[in-house]
Amino acid sequence: MQQVRAEIDLGAIRSNARCFAALAGGAALCAVVKADAYGHGASMVAHALRGIADSFAVALVEEGASLRNAGIDEDILVLVPPLNREEVLRGCAYGLIFLLSDAADAALIAEVCDQFGLSARCHIKVNTGMNRFGFDGAEFASFLRRPHGRLRIEGIASHFYRPEDTETTAAQFRSFQEFCARAEDVFGPLRKHIAATGGVLASPGYGLDMVRVGIGLYGYVPSGLAPLPQLRRAMRVYAPVASVRKYAGGGMGYGARRPIGKDLFVVRAGYADGLFRNERLCMDAFVAEGRAEKYGEVCILSDADACAAASGTISYEVLARIGGRAVREYVDR
């Protein structure tokens, strides 16, 4: 087989989920399975976490619909607000929870619900410093004063943008609590959540009613935060050896790099398999130093942090890229 093979350990993902649930100070666990569970396979991961995660989060309505079609009946929160009427209709049909980030989102969802006699479950997103999605102060106050009709407001959320910075995170948390108090004066008790993986690690006091754990489920923590020794990395990626050879002068792939010894082998994995550009990589294959067995397999990823550091990126990007084209095989250890 010429394809790259990703071995996904569902037991590791469950173990990591239990670890974060224990750290969350009694908050419910929302398992983030967006981007096909960071390349690990959303439906398989979601089924593996049933009974541990109370709910799931995805980025897109399409991802939420796919989980419903895969038999997931727990709450599913869609983190990116719907961008058109069709997404509102589909989200309502599949019983997804929308995140409202501004008055336009609320108006779009309300208009569709009024036209078709639907109601929509919603959480309010407020901006406490990330400036990606979320109501700001004046618009938030105006939203609270309006009638909300068929919008069922059930929760309120924000996001820490620098969980490694104690003062910044504490200031965001205070801002979020102020938003929450104003919202609950209007809507009554809401499910409050601001902490993702980094927020859980920053303090159990940030857990509130729910935490949204993403990268931590797969064995990694955001940059700038201390690693958790008990986390288990869930993905190992293998690729076939297409050629073995002796160095015969010149370079290794595109570039002037020369090997230390004479033994070389060629791995059948490249850009489209999620690898990042370097001088040894030639589109669909790369040249490596050392000995290997032709037609055998070598591990090309066991530590996404190390790969990310070498490529100037983050583990999330590595996992999502390399898990996309690979044939996934699941184990449970």
Contact call for residues 98 and 90 (beta carbons, < 8 A): no
Count the neighbouring beta carbons within 10 Å of the beta carbon of residue 259: 16
Q: Which residues touch 131 (CB under 8 Å, ≥6 apart)?
A: none
Half-sphere exposure of 192 (CA within 13 A, CB side): 18
254 carries an active-site annotation: yes
34 carries an active-site annotation: yes
Q: Which residues touch 143 (CB under 8 Å, ≥6 apart)?
A: 103, 106, 124, 135
Task: Identify the H or E element spanning 176.
Answer: helix 166-187
Contact call for residues 68 and 36 (beta carbons, < 8 A): no
Residue 125, phi then psi, degrees to nearest 5? -100, 130
Annotated active-site residue in 94, 247, 254, 330: 254
Annotated active-site residue in 34, 206, 220, 238: 34
d(CA 173, CA 196): 13
d(CA 193, CA 124): 10
Catalytic residue positions, numbered: 34, 254
